A = this chain, B = another copy of it.
């Protein structure tokens, strides 16, 4: 990257506080606490504002309402939303620096009964079974495995070591990170009178719609019957468990290590923290916010509320209850006083 401050401002539809410095050049992105000469930084979280005042960075993306409280060195580039402006610039940078990986490695094993689109990359030692269809511009990295009859939409990327079980369907422009398993058996066993179990074969599949991103080492189980369904725009972090017959609504975002039990339906536009657990067979309303480590044991019917704790309660109720615990010592004292008064 080698851009002037003016060029950056133009790319992100921003304005600058010191137009006379607009031709200074920027040659790297830095975190604000590490910004040096020629760096472009961003300030999106007020917690980091104090770093601005000591920063040697050449320019910093800030919200258009931002007013520095002290003298600063960097040029400010005012934008609507610094985080989104950063996204745009980093995408621009990434596209410029990316090589166009296309071609099928000679060690990839691709069954002849497959349909592979144009401009596809398939890496070393990938294995693709019969009946698979892969759309144009897909990237399937080394050591990936795609079992029979899977469909993968255009522009989707499977990173190294992703394993996709038979009959899974993945939409367009998805990104699946290394080591994630899609379509393994749901956890279903019928107890028998002698204490052992009969396995319930899992004959359903996994359906992932478009623009979904899934982190590393996640596990997305196939449905017992029907489909485990991850809708458009969903973003999953790493090490997440999605059980059989789960449905996750559009644009819901889930942080790492959360576990979703069988047949749970999560609405759209939810924000779910890390290490949350959902009990089986419940529904979560659209726009729900669930704090990290919560345990959600019942359906959430009212949309757009925040929830916390185990069992999860509406946010303010949860904190009220926690605060109650702190009041007990003073209650003990007040009771003691009452008792003493009565004795007199």
Binding site for B on A (CB under 8 A): 29-31, 34, 45, 47, 81, 83-84, 86-88, 90-91, 93-94, 107, 109, 123-125, 127, 141-143, 145, 147, 159-161, 163, 165, 175, 177-179, 181, 184-185, 187, 189-192, 195-201, 203, 211, 213, 215-219, 221, 224-226, 233, 235, 237-239, 241, 243, 245, 250-251, 253, 255-257, 259, 261, 268-269, 274-275, 277, 279, 281, 292-293, 295, 310-311, 321-322, 324-329, 331-332, 334-335, 338-339, 341-342
Contacts and interface: CB of A to CB of B under 8 A. Distances in A.
Contacts of A328: 324-325, 327-328, 331
Given A143-B145, A325-B325, A217 B215 contact: no
A90 to B, nearest CB: 4
B342 A91 contact: no
Contact of A235 (B192, B197, B239): B197
A218 B127 CA distance: 23
B163 A179 contact: yes
A245 B31 contact: yes
Contacts of A216: 181, 184, 219, 221
A179 B143 contact: no
Nearest to A194: B251
Contacts of A88: 198
Nearest to A232: B196
Contact of A190 (B87, B94, B226): B87
Interface centre among A93, A190, A269 (most CB of B within 10 A): A190
B90 A203 contact: yes
Given A195-B269, A277-B293, A311-B322, 9 more contacts: A29-B203, A91-B199, A125-B125, A147-B160, A161-B161, A165-B178, A175-B199, A181-B216, A328-B328
A190 to B, nearest CB: 4
A58 B311 CA distance: 39
A259 to B, nearest CB: 5
Interface centre among A198, A241, A311 (most CB of B within 10 A): A241
A198 B91 contact: yes
A83 B190 contact: yes
Contact of A84 (B87, B198, B310): B198
Contacts of A235: 187, 189, 197
Given A159-B184, A324-B328, A127 B125 contact: yes
A277 B295 contact: no
